Amino acid sequence: MDTGVRAESPYEIVTNPGVDEKTLTVNSLRSIFSMRLKTWPDGTKIRVFVLSDDDELHQIFSKEKLNVFPYQLRSTWDRLVFSGTGQAPTKVNSNEEMLAKISSTPGAIGYLWKANINENVNVLEIK
């Protein structure tokens, strides 16, 4: 809830406007991006979007928000996909595509530079 720090953060966790959640614990966020938690509390699908492994925002987000290295996320997703026990996040190729996907896909969650955020997405507060 330290708004001073949040204001300095140049990016945010964003969701589709249809998602009721306004805040999320860091453990839930990690669970979502580890692709373990698959549904929002109301039972609808969570759909996770990420940028490429070598994208700067992806790397900052992984390390700062999830406290994991991007290569660890990749190993986690690979284990799920190639063992048949889960799915990987959907990769987008640009910040513009991220914004378009989050605003148009029900249940979507992702991250965006503040400068790319507009009223078509909700900003999540991480506790």
Partner 1 sequence: MKMLMCSKLSNRLIGSGLRLIVRVATLSLLFSFSAHAQENTNSKPQPDADNPSIKRPLATELPAPANQPDTPEKKPGFVRSVIDRFRNNDLPGDLQIHGFVTQAYIATSDNNVFGGSDNGGSFGLTEAGLNASIRPLPRLQLSAQVLSRRAGAGNSGTPRLDYAVLDYRLYSQETNQLGIRVGRIKNPFGFYNETRDVAFTRPSILLPQSIYFDRTRNLGLSSDSVQLYSDTAVFDWGTLSTQFGVSLPIVNDKDTESSLLGGVRPGKLEREVGYIGRGIFETNDKRLRLGVSGIWLNTSYDPNHRLGDPIGPGALRFTPVIFSAQYNAERWTLTSEYAIRPFKYNNNFRVPALNGLDFIGESYYFQGEYRFTPKIEGILRYDALFIDRSDRDGSRWAAQNPARHGLEHSRFARDITVGLRWNVTPEFMLRAEFHHVNGTGWLSRLDNPVAKDTEENWNLYGIQASYRF
**Residue 3 burial (CB < 10 Å; 0-12/13-18/19+)?**
exposed
C-beta separation of 120 from 15 below 8 A: no
127 binds partner 1 (CB under 8 A): no
Please report whether residue 10 would count as binding partner 1 according to CB under 8 A.
Answer: yes
124 is written with which tokens? Answer: 């999540």
Q: What are phi and psi of 16, to 5 degrees?
A: -65, 145
Chain positions 56 to 95 lying near partner 1, rule: CB under 8 A, are 56-57, 67-69, 71-72, 74-76, 78-79, 81-88, 90-91, 93-95
Going by the DSSP 8-state scheme, the letter that residue 115 receives in this structure is G
Q: Which residues are at the interface with partner 1 (CB under 8 A)?
A: 10-11, 18, 25, 27-28, 30-31, 36-39, 43-45, 47, 49, 52-54, 56-57, 67-69, 71-72, 74-76, 78-79, 81-88, 90-91, 93-96, 99-101, 103-108, 113-116, 118, 120
